[in-house]
């Protein structure tokens, strides 16, 4: 049985030196036009070489899909030079480097043009022409990532953004081909994944991040649907399926079956398509639990903020992860930029002290 410290080769041929991934983390460190800022580069470069798979934060595929200030962009060709700098810096460390490509849907910033599944206050229901354009935007973004030199992309189908809004029954009352049953609600994501796979080279990794079940609130995402969507992702050419969970080794929070989510997905997929599981991993023991629960790759989120070398540091006898609240001075020392620190301060109990001004 492989261990998390052993290499893994994705179906596309990309080889991870080990099975720890840096989770894609919102950090607000890019320039306001979406171009790469030095803080974003430093943040990721500091962690590359330690994690086998390194993902950017969610990068916007279109102007009207941008969800927060300082979001990394991949929505026009003028952004490619910065993306090239980032890809070069990450890949030369030996990590597999991917861009998470993203559309905010009704969580986007621009109220005049943002879209949702149906008309709601401040947003309009997406027409089929809108959805065709969205698929095209994801394809164009993936091509830019490939041109910039990244090893792959991850379609962001989790955490309440556009694809999740279509997948979740509570958010998608459409009665056309993009709503209704499980197949209709998954149609947009499937079309985007198939189009991205067809538009990029066979050796370019194309994965997807899913919220396979309800985690923080009940939107109708049940495990049976999540498992089937993951199965469709593999059928449509996904090189990995990344599960966004509260507990990487846990059961569905709002279901009484006790079935472990990662295990259910792992058992449903072909053996060559790895499952990445994220959520609540702080120690090697947590990672081992996730692996035993079905994860082939374990994604590290909050612990990687304060421990940029977590895969090595966590091996040490007596390793005790730095739990919140975190000292802002420590965050600066590990290349967490001031805008990221300010963002973390929005979450009660994460950071001690006051806001940090940008130099």
How many other C-beta atoms are found inside a 10 Å radius of the C-beta of residue 216? 10
- Between the alpha carbon of residue 342 and those of residues 72, 80, 334, 355, the distances in Å are 17, 27, 15, 6
Give catalytic residues, as residue numbers. 161
């Amino acid at each position: 049985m492989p261990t998390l410290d052993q290499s893994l080769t994705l179906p596309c041929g990309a080889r991870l030196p080990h099975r720890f991934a840096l989770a894609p983390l919102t950090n607000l460190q890019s320039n306001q036009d979406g171009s790469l800022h030095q803080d974003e580069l430093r943040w990721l470069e500091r962690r590359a070489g330690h994690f086998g798979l390194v993902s950017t934060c969610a990068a916007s595929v279109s102007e009207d899909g941008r969800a927060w200030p300082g979001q990394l962009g991949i929505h026009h060709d003028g952004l490619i030079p910065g993306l090239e700098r980032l890809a070069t810096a990450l890949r030369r460390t030996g990590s597999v480097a991917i861009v998470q490509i993203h559309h905010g849907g009704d969580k986007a910033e621009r109220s005049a043009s943002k879209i949702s599944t149906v008309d709601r206050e401040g947003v309009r229901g997406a027409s089929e022409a809108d959805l065709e354009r969205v698929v095209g935007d994801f394809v164009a973004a993936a091509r830019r990532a490939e041109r910039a030199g990244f090893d792959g992309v991850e379609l962001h189908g989790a955490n309440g953004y556009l694809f999740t809004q279509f997948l979740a029954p509570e958010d998608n009352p459409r009665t056309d081909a993009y709503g209704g049953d499980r197949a209709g609600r998954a149609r947009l994501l499937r079309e985007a994944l198939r189009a991205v796979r067809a538009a990029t080279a066979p050796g370019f990794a194309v994965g997807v991040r899913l919220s396979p079940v309800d985690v923080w609130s009940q939107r109708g995402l049940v495990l049976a649907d999540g498992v089937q969507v993951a199965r469709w992702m593999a059928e449509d050419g996904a090189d990995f399926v990344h599960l966004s969970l509260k507990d990487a080794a846990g059961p569905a929070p709002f279901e009484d079956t006790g079935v472990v989510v990662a295990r259910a997905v792992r058992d449903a997929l072909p053996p060559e398509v790895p499952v990445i599981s994220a959520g609540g991993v702080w120690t090697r023991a947590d990672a081992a639990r996730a692996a035993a629960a079905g994860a082939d790759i374990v994604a590290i989120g909050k612990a990687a903020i304060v421990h940029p070398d977590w895969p090595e540091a966590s091996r040490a006898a007596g390793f005790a992860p730095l739990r919140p609240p975190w000292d802002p001075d420590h965050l600066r020392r590990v290349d967490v930029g001031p805008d990221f620190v300010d963002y973390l301060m929005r979450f009660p109990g994460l950071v001690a002290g006051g806001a940090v001004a940008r130099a």
